[in-house]
């Protein structure tokens, strides 16, 4: 089966530190008659990668082995990566990915929601926590504005389910006009309470939508949340990039790995003719990624459909799952999942215990 391994070893997508074989993702190869069986296991979200692999290598594998039928198996078992500052894990949560931005208005929450849904689509168990005290928009974007978490034991809240995603938000718990006038300690305490007093269950990735900015509140939250890694959302123009740089510096200060930059509104995609127009300039995200030696994880378009989907409470990944916009988020999820895995050495997965009376 060396010929099979040699062919599969050519598969190394952008952002991977090792190829499919040397990374240990090929678990079993066997041939019985004219049937070649290949079992793969990925330690991060990436279910649709199997289609890429089969499309690229199926013909060559048949030619190399004489097999007429290929039997592929792919399992997703998300690894747990180290938490910043050695903080204790939240029960049942393997990884916490913080989505942050140096300033507001760059599409951070839109990106966080679609990233979470895309990670779920790629085979992971995902939840989202809306920690944006200045403008908790996750309930609107998920179509759960009127929902409220319930508690069956008076101790833990049950997350609100939307699009198969577990969610909790400051927006569910306080009146809209109250959330924006909280002082730092009150806001940080509220975040810690929501994080630790929600019955998340078993979750591979908890995506946290952080407040925009890099002030004391954001710094305190970054220090309190047992974060696996952060991603920074920005737009290409110089003003946004200057603030995004502060975001990278903040996470470096509290020893939270920054997986990379997501350049949102990278270009305007005309819904009538498909014309690409870089309204906010070009190349800013790439230059910043090179400056800080982090990855440019994705370049997402400015498109009217994304805005409409979010306003309707049906995010793009759910509303048009086979469309080009949804595929852009899926590719982003693949990059983020792989970047997190290759960012460190996996550790033991925190146990999730369930009381018998539950």
Q: What is the pLDDT of residue 355?
A: 56
Q: Is 171 annotated as a binding residue?
A: no
> What CATH number does the domain located at 84-341 have?
3.40.50.300
pLDDT of amino acid 290: 80
Annotation-wise, does 102 bind a ligand?
Answer: yes
Q: Is 109 annotated as a binding residue?
A: yes
Helix (H) or strand (E) holding 238: helix 238-253
What does the block give as tokens for 87?
């903080």
105 annotated ligand-binding residue:
yes
CATH 3.30.300.130 residue ranges for the chain: 2-76
All CATH 3.40.50.300 domain ranges of the chain, comma separated, are 84-341
Q: Give one DSSP letter per residue of 149-208, joined into a string.
A: ---SSSS-BPPEEETTEEEEEHHHHS-HHHHTT--HHHHHHHHHHHHHTB---SEEEEEE
Residue 354 has a pLDDT of 61
Task: Give residues with Cβ within 8 angstroms of 258, minimum separation 6.
Answer: 229, 230, 231, 232, 248, 251, 252, 292, 294
pLDDT average per 10 residues of sequence, the chain (358 residues): 94 95 96 95 97 96 95 97 90 94 86 98 97 86 93 94 94 72 72 91 95 79 88 81 83 90 81 71 74 87 88 93 94 97 90 59
274-106-293 Cα angle (round to 5) = 95
pLDDT of residue 73: 97
Q: Is 108 annotated as a binding residue?
A: yes
Cα dist from 353 to 79, 90, 190, whole Å: 18, 12, 24
Specify the pLDDT at position 266.
77
For residue 106, say whether it is annotated as part of any ligand binding site: yes
Each residue's pLDDT tens digit, 295-308: 899 988 888 888 99
Taking the CA atoms of residue 48, residue 54, residue 57 and residue 63 in that order, the dihedral angle to the nearest 10 degrees is 170
The answer to whether 50 touches 72, Cβ cutoff 8 Å, is yes
Considering only CA atoms, give the Rg of the chain: 21
The answer to whether 283 is a known ligand-binding residue is no
Does 253 appear as a known binding residue?
no
Name 268's bridge partners.
Answer: 277, 302
> In this structure, is the dihedral angle defined by the CA atoms of residues 140, 142, 148 and 153, taken in order, positive or negative?
negative
pLDDT for the residue numbered 181: 66
pTM of the model: 0.93
Whole-number Å distance between alpha carbons of 208 and 186: 18
Residue with tokens 């378009």: 301
> What is the CATH topology of the domain spanning 2-76?
GMP Synthetase; Chain A, domain 3 (3.30.300)
Q: What is the pLDDT of residue 291?
A: 81
């Amino acid at each position: 089966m060396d010929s099979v391994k040699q062919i599969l070893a050519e598969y190394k997508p952008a952002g991977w530190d090792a190829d499919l074989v040397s990374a240990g993702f090929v678990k079993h190869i066997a041939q019985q008659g004219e049937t070649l069986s290949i079992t793969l296991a990925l330690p991060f979200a990436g279910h649709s990668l199997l289609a890429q692999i089969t499309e690229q290598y199926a013909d060559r594998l048949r030619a190399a082995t004489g097999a007429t039928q290929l039997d592929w198996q792919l399992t997703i078992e998300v690894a747990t990566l180290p938490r910043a500052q050695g903080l204790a894990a939240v029960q049942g949560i393997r990884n916490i990915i913080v989505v942050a931005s140096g300033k507001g208005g760059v599409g951070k929450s839109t990106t966080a929601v679609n990233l979470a849904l895309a990670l779920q689509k790629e085979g992971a168990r995902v939840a989202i926590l809306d920690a944006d005290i200045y403008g908790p928009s996750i309930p609107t974007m998920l179509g759960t504005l009127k929902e409220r978490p319930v508690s069956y034991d008076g101790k833990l809240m049950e997350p609100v389910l939307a699009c198969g995603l577990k969610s909790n938000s400051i927006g569910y718990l306080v009146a809209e006009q109250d959330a924006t006038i909280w002082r730092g300690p009150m806001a940080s305490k509220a975040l810690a309470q929501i994080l630790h007093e929600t019955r998340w269950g078993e979750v591979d990735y908890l995506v946290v939508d952080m407040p925009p900015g890099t002030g004391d509140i954001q710094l305190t939250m970054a220090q309190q949340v047992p974060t696996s890694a952060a991603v920074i959302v920005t737009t290409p123009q110089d003003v946004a990039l200057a603030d995004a740089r502060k975001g990278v510096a903040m996470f470096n200060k509290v020893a939270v790995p920054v997986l990379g930059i997501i350049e949102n509104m990278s270009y305007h995609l005309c819904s009538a003719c498909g014309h690409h127009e870089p309204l906010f300039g070009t190349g800013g995200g790439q230059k910043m990624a090179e400056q800080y030696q982090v990855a440019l994880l994705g370049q997402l378009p400015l498109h009217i459909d994304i805005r409409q989907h979010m306003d309707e409470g049906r995010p793009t990944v759910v509303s048009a799952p086979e469309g080009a916009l949804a595929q852009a988020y899926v590719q982003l999820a693949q990059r983020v999942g792989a970047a997190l895995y290759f960012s460190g050495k996996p550790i033991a997965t925190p146990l999730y215990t369930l009381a018998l009376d539950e």
